[in-house]
């Protein structure tokens, strides 16, 4: 059973218990070593040299054994702490409904990818995707169906990510984001259409209801820009344009729009 250390009293009790164990082990091992080297006759005459040798051997062995035990336990605790931190970090950066990165996870990973793209002289493409009429979908079919729609669209993006190496995330609400490095504007448009068509072809089924949903996509291609927030704003502009022009479509914001963002 793992010891729960929460309060300062827990720390003191844990320390006292292990000090007691260490003292007890030291006493037992010292006594056993003395009996083996010097015998059990307390009145027997013993050479000083034998006492010195016994003392050095006992101190060395006991120190090695106790140090090994404590270091091993410390290593186990460090391993547990590292795994716990890693899991907490994963949870904090993962959307619990869809399993994709959440906004925090995406922003951290995308910022790093943008810096790498800048140093490599490669273009970066940001896609912003939004489920069309999502509020109406929730109102008509219920939130359970809405959640299923989010999960299915996330699955489309996950499959796209596996096929093309994109970074994808649920950026918030019914909005998804994707980042690709090293592709042209023409390739970006083809990829955006691939995502749009795959989403509209996916049948959403929940509670006896089966429907198709559509998404709008806005994207921008950037060279030499590493500030994620600025690029995201331009992709958002393209997304809003796609919505104003009727939804279920792809729109692009030109690179020069960054200067006005």
Q: How does pLDDT run across 159-184, given as a tens digit for each residue?
A: 999 999 999 999 999 999 999 999 99
Catalytic residue among 87, 152, 174, 211, which?
Answer: 174
Contact of 188 with 180, CB cutoff 8 Å: yes
211 as an active site residue: the answer is no
Contact of 205 with 148, CB cutoff 8 Å: yes
For the segment 66-81, what is each residue's pLDDT rounded down to a tens digit?
Answer: 777 777 777 777 777 7
pTM here is 0.70
What are the b/e assignments for 51-68, b being 16+ CB within 10 Å? eeebeeebeeebeeeeee
Contact of 248 with 216, CB cutoff 8 Å: yes
Q: Extract the runs of DSSP E, i.e. beta strands, from the chain.
A: 124-131, 167-172, 175-181, 203-206, 209-212, 215-222, 250-253
Cα 228 to Cα 54, 115, 190, 203: the distances in Å are 69, 10, 23, 33
The CA distance from 229 to 235, in Å, is 10
Which pLDDT value is given to residue 42? 59
Which pLDDT value is given to residue 76? 74
Which pLDDT value is given to residue 260? 45
Q: Which has more confidence, 29 or 146? A: 146
Q: What are phi and psi of 248, to 5 degrees?
A: 50, 50
With bands split at pLDDT 50, 70 and 90, how would you rate the model's confidence at 50? low
Burial of 124 (0-12, 13-18, 19+ CB in 10 A): buried
User: What integer is the mean pLDDT of 211-218?
Assistant: 96
Which pLDDT value is given to residue 52? 72
For residue 132, the SS3 value is coil
Q: Which tokens belong to 241?
A: 């344009």
Contact of 205 with 147, CB cutoff 8 Å: no
């Amino acid at each position: 059973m793992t010891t729960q250390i929460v309060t300062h009293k827990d720390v003191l009790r844990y320390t006292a218990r292990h000090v007691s164990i260490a003292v007890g082990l030291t006493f037992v091992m010292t006594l056993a070593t003395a009996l083996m080297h010097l015998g059990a006759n307390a009145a027997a005459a013993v050479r000083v040299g034998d006492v010195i040798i016994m003392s050095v051997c006992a101190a060395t062995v006991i120190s090695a054994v106790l140090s090994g035990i404590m270091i091993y336990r410390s290593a186990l605790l460090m391993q547990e702490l590292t795994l716990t931190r890693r899991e907490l970090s994963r949870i904090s950066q993962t959307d619990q409904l869809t399993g994709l990165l959440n906004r925090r996870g995406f922003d951290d990973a995308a910022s790093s990818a943008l810096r790498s793209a800048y140093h490599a002289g490669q273009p970066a493409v940001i896609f912003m995707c939004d489920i069309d009429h999502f509020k109406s979908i929730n109102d008509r079919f219920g939130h359970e169906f809405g959640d299923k729609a989010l999960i299915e669209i996330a699955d489309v993006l996950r499959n796209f990510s596996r096929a093309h190496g994109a970074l994808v995330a649920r950026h918030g609400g019914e909005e998804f984001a994707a980042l690709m490095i090293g592709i042209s504007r023409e390739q970006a448009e083809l990829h955006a259409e691939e995502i749009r068509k795959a989403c509209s072809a996916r049948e959403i089924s929940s509670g006896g209801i089966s429907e198709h949903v559509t998404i709008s996509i806005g994207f921008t291609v950037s060279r030499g820009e590493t500030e994620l927030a600025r690029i995201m704003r331009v992709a958002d502009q393209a997304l809003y344009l796609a919505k104003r022009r009727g939804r279920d479509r792809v729109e692009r914001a030109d690179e020069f729009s960054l200067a006005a963002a």
